[in-house]
Structure 1
Amino acid sequence: MSNAKSLEQLEQKQDFIRRHIGPTPAQVSDMLAALNVSSVEELITQTVPAGIRLEQGLTVGESRTEVEALSYLKSVASQNKIFKSYIGQGYHPTHVPNVILRNVLENPGWYTAYTPYQPEIAQGRLESLLNFQTLTIDITGLDLASASLLDEATAAAEAMALSKRVSKAKKANAFFVAEDVHTQTIDVVKTRAEQFGFDVIVGPASDAANHDIFGALFQYPTTSGEVVDLTDLIAQVQDKKAIACVAADIMSLMLLKAPGKLGADVVLGSAQRFGVPMGYGGPHAAFFATRDAYKRSLPGRIIGVSKDRLGNDALRMAMQTREQHIRREKANSNICTAQVLLANMAAFYAVYHGPQGLKTIAQRINRFASILATGLKAKGVSLKHDTWFDTITVVADNKADIVARALAAETNFATNHEGEFSVSVNETTTRADVAALFDIILGEGHGLDVAALDAQVSSDDITGIPASLVRDDEILTHPNFNSYHSETEMLRYIKRLENKDLALNHSMISLGSCTMKLNATAEMIPVTWPEFAELHPFCPLDQAQGYQTMIGELHDWLVNITGYDAVSMQPNSGAQGEYAGLIAIRKYHESRGEGHRNICLIPSSAHGTNPATAQMASMKVVVVACDKEGNIDMADLRAKAEDVSENLACIMVTYPSTHGVYEESIREVCDIIHSHGGQVYMDGANMNAQVGVTSPGFIGSDVSHLNLHKTFCIPHGGGGPGVGPIGVKSHLAPFMPNHSIINVPGTTEGNGAVSAAPYGSAAILPISWAYITMMGSEGLKQATEMAIVNANYLTEKLSAHYPILYRGQNNRVAHECIVDLRPLKEASGITEMDIAKRLMDYGFHAPTMSFPVAGTLMIEPTESESKVEIDRFIEAMISIREEVRKVENGEWSVENNPLVFAPHTQADVLGNEWDRAYDRFYAAFPVKAVAKDKFWPTVTRIDDVLGDRNLICSCPAVETYAE
């Protein structure tokens, strides 16, 4: 091969690396010069402690081009077999409206946005989430809904925890689960209960009130398809001062009486079949509703209605949705991730179809189920139930023959229970499909005619739904569900909301600890391939060989990157990964006869999810102090570890630290914990500063979760999806989560599940797979190095204007820095909130505010931002510093300046009255760069206190639209 050709191929291989990493070589040289170092290697040597730097490089392979990666992955995906799926059990084929597929799921304006902690530039997705909450409230018949949870099974586990918190049966320690609840839900509830020390009683639904319980869970319709009136069972549970929870099918609720009308206290379920592909298990948004009386115990996020400074309605996340950070181990839950992108898809599905369209879809599904049931009964087939919505369970002596015929016809049934199988029809089912089902179940020559059966079902009004359970109330009456049914109107509605939100496709989002970097288009493309999108998570493994291959390769790469021995892909958020990791630690101690070890040491700088997770794993939190440099106080650590030695379970530590430095004592931290019999849990939030340079396993940690939506490029989606696999050393591998329906290779049979599907949010794992393979070993290391270069350059430039709170050795920071605004506040009265809001006028999302230290901004530029964009951000911060200076010297008063009035909307700037101490034009265009690409916030400063005091979590009344 000629040198010229070899060089050309090398350049092609590096194409993706060049496009992922923002700074050009010339820009890198300029930044290094500003840092007074001669090379990237010199900066890394100054920054990362020598004792933890990897001696050998990664072995994930050479980088592939986008064409090579997608071509290979397509060949892997083609190994998956897309059979007709009638498995049901909470997962159903659905039609994703193309207007939603192209303009939401495949649109970076929706999938690259951050969690709406800065609501003034997030009004679009907040409105969509409010639609989701309104949808949930309407269909469940309850008072209050959240903005989604991770999946149906984990939502049920959260319902159990809520029940224990609010139940007046204080002495009870048991939670009842009806045996006809989905199998995976029972599995996850049992896992959660084991950690809390609750007893779980599984039995016939009618037995619920025969036990001393604090709560009970019923399925509506049941997993085998029966539609049961739960009114009396709910009343019996409540008579025992226990909480009645119902897991419901979202589509059935278009026809069935709302569980809230039956008396339920909590209603939950999956929104998957509202236009979200099955995706081999997720991501899918769970819905969750409860009574107003229990609002302070509701897990997850709630979107509420408040007012902005000008009196306009404005949306925001309500206070209790951030309690997992504020209340730490006293939080309701550790779940800080919603499934925002998927909840938005489900909400848009409801908006697009409207109440009548949704009812028509539900009626069609129910009618096909009735045709199937009527035809089978006419041929003498025994059905398990006389009622149904979409699922018919057949009792059959010849089950094996029928299932064999089904597989030969590339069709899947639910076959969990001996002597019976279930068929769940769905939105995609056609008359031809029903005819094929008769051929499979009855054999050919059965003589049934689908059209004739359809006429019979219609004329005899056969629905399978008891008359007493037919929904008779009007739902989804709000204009948002009745205005956008043409594609033109829907397209414009989606675009109108998108325009209200600042996402990565507009400007840098410099959130410390959250790593908002490029989510490359090539990484996103495979997510919507049918081969990945249309598989049921419980299909036979031989139909999912493509998934097994892709997940296996990703597993091996993550093992190499982390320095661990095994990885579980099941946890579907970072917080869920923390939980799975602590369970592994607990089970490990129990296996050694040391189940009494229940104390978790946590540095005071830790993420709020850490102590909340420890509490969920029934561990007692002991806080370890940090010194004035932001490092773990080693003397305090030694003393605390010695004091709790006999009962020490673990420490939860983040590396680099939450303060943005590589602590040189990290190996000693691990040694101290191990010497007292504990385990080291390393939070994976900052893996972006480790990959290829060091690793948690090499440092000495025993287990970590990996935020694939941070370091490994799965987008934040406006606040979810996330994926949080755990990596473990070999001694913890036997204690990783398994699954009761699909055994996960490499895990111990009988281990409980932490998520509903065996591989969690499997559909988005191709994103991280593509990122790793297109970066290759060298590109991954370069990404870490450039994250460090960018962060140190930004720190150097800002340090002339703002104090930098913490630095590591040689005065360097890791991949993020903390700007201390407390001196400015003391001198001027201007707060970190004012500066965060003023950044919106410059076209930027604020950095992480007041975490991990109050009165600060934590800034992370990531490796994907060019020097041009970083300089633009630096210019904005310097300009804002000069604005603060004008307040300090009295040129502007603390009550009248552009910071306290920020952000400025068009209506604000163009209003008739202007009594400000600064110019209108300056308010909107403080530097020239802003004029080139102005992003206008749609509301001014929002009143948080008003929103918390007057919690409204459904769409505003129609009258407000008239106004």
Structure 2
Amino acid sequence: MTQSTLRALEHHDAFLERHIGPNPAEIAHMLQAIGQPSLEAMTEAIVPASIRSTQPLALPAPISEVEALAKIRAIASKNQVFRSFIGQGYYGTHTPNVILRNILENPAWYTAYTPYQAEISQGRMEALINFQTMVTDLTGMAISNASLLDEATAAAEAMTLAKRSAKSTSNRFFVSKHVHPQTLALLHTRADGIGIEVVVGDEADAAGADVFGVLLQYPNTFGQIHDYAALADAVHAKGGLIAVATDLLALTLIKTPGEWGADIVVGNTQRFGVPFGFGGPHAAFLACKDAFKRSMPGRLIGVSIDAQGNPAYRLTLQTREQHIRREKATSNICTAQVLLAVMASMYAVYHGPEGLIRIATRVHRLAAILASALRAKGVTVGTDFFDTLHVVGVDAATLHAKARAARINLRAIDATSVGISLDETTTREDVVALAALFGAVVADIDAADASTPDALPAGLRRESKFMQHPVFNTHHSEHELLRYLRTLADRDLAMDRTMIPLGSCTMKLNATAEMIPVTWPEFANLHPLAPAEQAEGYRELITSLEAMLVECTGYDAVSLQPNSGAQGEYAGLLAIRGYHRARGEGHRNICLIPESAHGTNPASAQMVGMDVVVVACDKDGNVDVADLRAKAEKHSANLAALMVTYPSTHGVFEEAIVEICEIIHAHGGQVYTDGANMNALVGVAKPGKWGSDVSHLNLHKTFCIPHGGGGPGVGPCAVKAHLAPYLPGTLNADALRTEGVGHGPMVSAASFGSASILPISWMYIVMMGAEGLRRATQVALLNANYVAKRLEPHFPTLYKGGTGLVAHECILDLRPIKDSTGISAEDVAKRLIDFGFHAPTLSFPVAGTLMVEPTESESLHELDRFIDAMVQIRNEIRAIEDGRLDREDNPLKHAPHTAMVVTASEWARGYPRELAAFPLPTLKQAKYWPPVARVDNVYGDRNIMCACIPITAYSGAEEPTAG
């Protein structure tokens, strides 16, 4: 066998052959269909010569899954997983194996998309309703959202919610000095751009302060539990609101914040079965009084009814979202942490209220026993605590040295005090070992238990019941929970069943090999504040991934801290703002944004204190360069930035992008390029080389981290060298940072955001290599053009480039159909469910259209299956046009069709049952049945119910009621 033959065989075994859907013969067929001789010729026809890369990516060659897993195993082994008692908002937890295997490691859950199409998202929305119910029950609040990014950013959202909801006209927000440090850092970041003054002090000073709100930590960062009822009364009397950061496990034993006067409650559900992960991803929450529900941030799951009058879940009150409010938005929240919220909710379902109380009581008893042993040795320990001991008057340096020698981490506070936080994973042996660090002895745990009183304040013990709904009191055996999880997953459509052809969202293969390292203990079980020498594996992973992203983008530095795309945008704009301020030009506050931009762009701009000026688009969907030039000149003295998406949100490569960058720079501004469409650029063009100054990247799009039903996400911020100093800083001084990089304000609670899922993107890039990444981009362009070409006779593409080709997505124009038949883009989206497809992006960026992005990981078979479905739908529309189907009584208007409807004894519709259920013969072999008919959005917004449905509603005894 010759060397060339061996290399060919090894090349074929490389991962890229499995990631890219079409094989070489299918690629040739598709190229012929769009009239292009080769992928290279097609690339030249689509990507403007002015930005096209002339050199290949300086990355290694593709390697196999086996080789990549061996490489990352070696990296992981450099992490040292000590027993961490650091706390500070992060606690050890046991992920029930049934949840680990059937949610976190299950593509039915992690490859789903945000539940905008309610009818195919009923399973995950039920899980999120459980999450909301769990949170409201434990906090004593009326309503909760369906997760936020982390506790610190949730606290920042609570601050802005209080500002717009309080009666007080003050611009000052009081923060207890006993909140977690990362929370305080985020509050300063967020307040800086929106005119809020953060006042930090002792809680005793809050009652007399002129403030619109107060943030308390309960229990506080040092573990103490205080009664804040009188303080809440005093703040309310002056027109202010009380926000509380709390611990859900503690709330199983102590009074809810709602019982003593809190208005807004935030926190993190990490300790409900979600590993440390070096800081994330973890699902935070924000719960509040009912009066604030139309102003609260984040996504909210509500209950409505479907076309048959049955209960059905949906995203409710969506007009609160940044996608709609744009520059008027109060937040730029886009990604939540749905996958982690589902895990936490199922942890509560599995354990139930009694199980949670047992876990909390055991943790508290061990903490009380340890505190008693330390006091007996003469050590001073705080009182009135749940799980955290504040130990003072000690030689902290000596203690930390002894602890690390025993592979134990304590919280570093100052030279004479340490913190010790116990958790669900703490053992009796751990208590003995911790006591020994102080020279104390716990000879008999059971004897100590019998003689040691609890340390919970007597007046703050919880007496109210929680989680009484049957869902929390039924699935306590593994078999029952397993079946419940399968039932919910079967109600959804995720990428393990079908293509999700969402434009702008890049739903591509999340390969199993990429996912495997996430749950390895070396990555999953490391506390985010563990000493740097214990995180050498993460150091190597992070610096390596940053370098690979720098090479892919053409920028000079990357921060991996932002834990969503919107956070990445925010970080990029903060870097621009920091740069202008450092040059004495802090007055620059105008941000130009094309009218086609994603809703997070203007929302992020207003959050950093910039004023948005909208730039027009021309008839071809491109930025109107003349309008841009005029507005740049008009605002030249104050121009801060341009935010532009490239390729454009309209799915085309704009020829004038270099000129656009030059115009902005000529007037002193910076160019921010939204990285949402980076999947059309990797290996063929680099934004950092054509004049852009900063981009965020969506690792949950281009670089294969799964969407998880609406999160997790990672939104790294990539910048040119002059902006590098203004990238987000880190919480711990010994964090993994290059000199001269990352001294700006933090944007996420953990220094490296959702660090535990970074192995996914690292694996993807390493396995694809330079050749594979470029090929992926080219096939993404090919697949989109193939779909557009095949559907052109049926649904014209709204925007194309100068050569008649699109980028990696195409916008199908359904507006003429709506005018002639009354059939809307939404009707088509719902009818696609009957074919087993998730809808494309609906009415964005142009109302009345569908935006399709097939990605490179979809095979020709799957593309043709989607095309066949769309052609059949067009034929049904033609039947309406020529009178063979009624304008109102037709399969599109009544879609989707449930099994219950199709199999009912009576069928009174003017089209056959078979057309309703099996519009194509292939569906008879494999059919997805939606669990509900079309959901009534208006009913849901008029009858707000955002908690578990009463069991009687399922029997038809009553309908969902307002709550």
TM-score by structure 1 length? 0.98
Which of 636, 641, 644 is the aligned partner of 1:650?
Answer: 641
Quick one: distance in 1 between partners of 2:4 and 2:679?
A: 35
Superposed displacement of residue 749, structure 1: 7.3
Cα deviations by residue, 1:584-631 (Å, 9 ceiling, x for unpaired) = 001100001100000100000000110111111111000000001000
Structure 1 residue 37, shift from structure 2 partner: 1.6
Which secondary structure does the structure 2 equivalent of 1:416 belong to? strand
Q: Which blocks of at least 5 consecutive residues in structure 1 are unaligned?
A: none
Q: For residue 400 of structure 1, report the CA deviation from its aligned partner.
A: 2.0
How far has the Cα of 1:660 moved from its partner? 0.2
Pick the aligned partner of 2:246 from 245, 248, 253.
248
Aligned residues of 1:570 and 1:759 also touching (Cα < 8 A): yes
Question: 1:197, CA displacement in angstroms?
Answer: 2.3
One of 737, 746, 753 as aligned partner of 1:745 = 737
Q: 2:435, 2:442 within 8 Å by CA — same for their partners in 1?
A: no
Aligned ranges for residues 446-461 of structure 1 at < 5 Å?
446=441, 448-457=443-452
Partner of 2:433: 436
1:52 maps to which residue?
A: 51
In the TM superposition, residue 582 of structure 1 has moved relative to its aligned partner by: 0.4
Cα 1:113/1:749, change in 2 over 3 Å: closer
Q: How many residues align?
A: 954
Find out whether 1:354 has 2:347 as its counterpart.
no
TM-fit CA distance, 1:26? 0.7
CA-to-partner distance for each residue in 1:520-579, whole Å, 9 max, x for gaps? 000000000000000000000000000000011000000000100000000000000100
Q: Distance in 2 between matches of 1:322 and 1:200?
A: 26
Q: Could you tell which deviates more after superposition, 210-219 or 879-888? A: 210-219
Question: Map of 1:60-79 to 2, 5 A cutoff?
Answer: 60-79=59-78
Query: CA 1:744/1:550 → structure 2, altered by over 3 Å: closer, same or farther?
Result: closer
Greater mean alpha carbon deviation, residues 699-708 or residues 433-442: 433-442
Letter in 2 for 1:231: A
Q: Give the aligned partner of residue 138 of structure 2.
A: 139
Distance in 1 (CA, whole Å) between partners of 2:729 and 2:4 is 51
**Secondary structure of 2:817's aligned partner:** helix
380, 402, 407: which one pairs with 1:382?
380
Give the residue type in structure 1 aligned to 2:406: A
1:218 to 216, 219, 222: 216
1:97 maps to 2:96: yes
**Relative to 1, partners in 2 of residues 1:447 and 1:863: Cα closer, same or farther, differing over 3 Å?**
closer
Aligned to 2:128: 129
* Superposed displacement of residue 392, structure 1: 0.6
Q: CA deviation at 1:10?
A: 3.3
- The separation in 1 between residues aligned to 2:580 and 2:269, in whole angstroms, is 38
| C-alpha deviation, 1:8, in angstroms | 4.9
Match of 1:276 in 2: 274
Does the aligned pair in 2 maintain the 1:183–1:741 contact within 8 Å? no
Residue equivalent to 2:579: 588
In 2, distance between residues paired with 1:892 and 1:321?
34
CA-to-partner distance for each residue in 1:729-759, whole Å, 9 max, x for gaps? 0000000111233445135676321100000
Task: Give the residue type in structure 2 aligned to 1:705.
Answer: H
Q: Which amino acid aligns with 1:902?
A: A
Q: Which residue of 2 aligns with 1:800?
A: 793
Q: Following superposition of structure 1 onto structure 2, how do residues 244-643 of structure 1 map, counting pairs within 5 Å? A: 244-320=242-318, 323-383=321-381, 385-442=382-439, 446=441, 448-457=443-452, 462-643=453-634
CA drift of 1:285 comes to 0.3
- Matched residue, 1:813: 806
Partner AA of 2:175 in structure 1: V
3-state SS of 2:803 partner: helix
Per-residue CA distance 1:816-868 (angstroms, 9 max, x = gap): 00000000000101011100000000110000000000000000000000111
Q: Which amino acid aligns with 2:356?
A: L
Asked if the contact 1:86/1:412 (under 8 Å) is kept, the reply is yes
1:937 is aligned to 930
Return the match for 1:776 from 769, 776, 785: 769
Cα–Cα, structure 1 residues 454 and 23, in superposed 2: closer, same or farther, change >3 Å? same
Taking the TM superposition and a 5 Å limit, the aligned residue runs for 1:137-216 are 137-170=136-169, 172-216=170-214
2:17 equivalent in structure 1: 18
Letter in 1 for 2:280: G
Task: Indicate the residue corresponding to 2:960 in structure 1.
Answer: none
How far apart, in 2, do the equivalents of 1:637 and 1:317 lie?
Answer: 36
Say whether the 8 Å CA contact 2:265–2:287 is kept in structure 1.
yes
Percent identity, aligned pairs only? 58
**Is 1:28 the equivalent of 2:27?**
yes
Q: Contact 2:726 / 2:742 at 8 angstroms: preserved in 1?
A: no
Deviation digits for residues 99-147 of structure 1 (CA, Å, limit 9, x no counterpart): 0000000000000000000010000000000000000110010111100
Give 1:48 shift. 0.7
TM-superposed CA distance for 1:332, in Å, is 2.4
Q: Distance in 2 between matches of 1:15 and 1:659?
A: 34
Distance in 1, matches of 2:265 and 2:905, equals 49
Q: Secondary structure at the match of 1:415?
A: strand
Give, in angstroms, the shift of residue 2 of structure 1: 4.0
Secondary structure in 2 aligned to 1:224?
Answer: coil
Q: Distance in 1 between matches of 2:320 and 2:494?
A: 21
Q: d(CA) in 1 for partners of 2:396 and 2:414? A: 11
Aligned-pair Cα RMSD in Å: 1.2
Letter in 1 for 2:446: A
| Paired residue secondary structure (2:419) | strand
Counterpart CA distance in 2 for 1:322 and 1:936 is 31
Deviation at 1:770, TM superposition (A): 0.3
- CA distance in structure 2 between the partners assigned to 1:300 and 1:160 by the alignment: 14
Q: In 1, distance between residues paired with 2:728 and 2:399?
A: 33
For 1:482 and 1:590, locate their aligned partners in 2 and report how far apart those are by CA, in whole Å.
56
Q: Is the 8 A contact 2:728 2:742 kept in 1?
A: no
**Contact 1:569/1:724 (<8 A) preserved:** yes
Aligned to 1:847: 840
Q: SS state of the match for residue 545, structure 2?
A: helix
Q: Does structure 1 conserve the Cα–Cα contact (< 8 Å) formed by 2:725 and 2:743?
A: no
**Is 1:673 paired with 2:672?**
no
Q: Distance in 2 between matches of 1:463 and 1:788?
A: 64
User: Do 2:621 and 2:650's aligned partners in 1 also have CA atoms closer than 8 Å?
Assistant: yes
Asked if 1:880 corresponds to 2:878, the answer is no
Q: Which amino acid aligns with 1:187?
A: A
Please give the secondary structure, in 2, of the residue aligned with 1:874: helix
Structure 2: how far apart are the matches of 1:940 and 1:316?
12
By how many angstroms is 1:959 displaced? 2.5
Give the Cα–Cα distance (whole angstroms) in 1 for the partners of residues 929 and 134 of structure 2: 29
Q: For 1:887 and 1:616, how far apart are their aligned partners in 2?
A: 47
Q: 1:321 Cα shift?
A: 6.2
Give, as a single letter, the amino acid of the residue that structure 2 aligns with 1:426. Answer: D
Aligned letter for 2:314?
R
The SS at the match of 2:894 is coil
Indicate conservation of the 8 Å contact 1:388/1:463, yes or no.
no
| Greater mean deviation of Cα atoms: 735-744 or 76-85 | 735-744
Which amino acid counterpart does residue 588 of structure 2 have in structure 1?
Answer: R
C-alpha offsets along residues 137-172 of structure 1, whole Å, 9 cap, x if unaligned? 1001011110000000000000011111111112x1
User: 838, 855, 864: which is aligned to 2:857?
Assistant: 864
Once the two structures are TM-superposed, the CA of residue 805 in structure 1 deviates from its matched residue by: 0.3
Contact 1:683–1:704 (Cα < 8 Å) also in 2:
yes
Deviations 1:772-792 (A, max 9, x none): 000000100000000001111
Q: Give the CA deviation at 1:391.
A: 0.3
SS of residue paired to 1:681: strand
- Measure, in 2, the Cα distance between the counterparts of 1:696 and 1:252: 48
1:902-956 per-position Cα deviation (integer Å, ceiling 9, x unaligned): 0000001011221111111111110022222211100000000010111111011
Alignment check: 8 A CA contact 2:589 2:610 kept: yes
Aligned partner of 2:959 in structure 1 is: none
The equivalent residue for 1:904 is 897
Asked if the contact 1:299–1:321 (Cα under 8 Å) also holds between the matched residues in 2, the reply is no
Separation in 1 of the partners of 2:736 and 2:239? 39
Could you say which residue in structure 2 is the equivalent of 1:117? 116
User: Structure 1 residues 159, 74: CA separation in 2 closer, same or farther (over 3 Å shift)?
Assistant: same
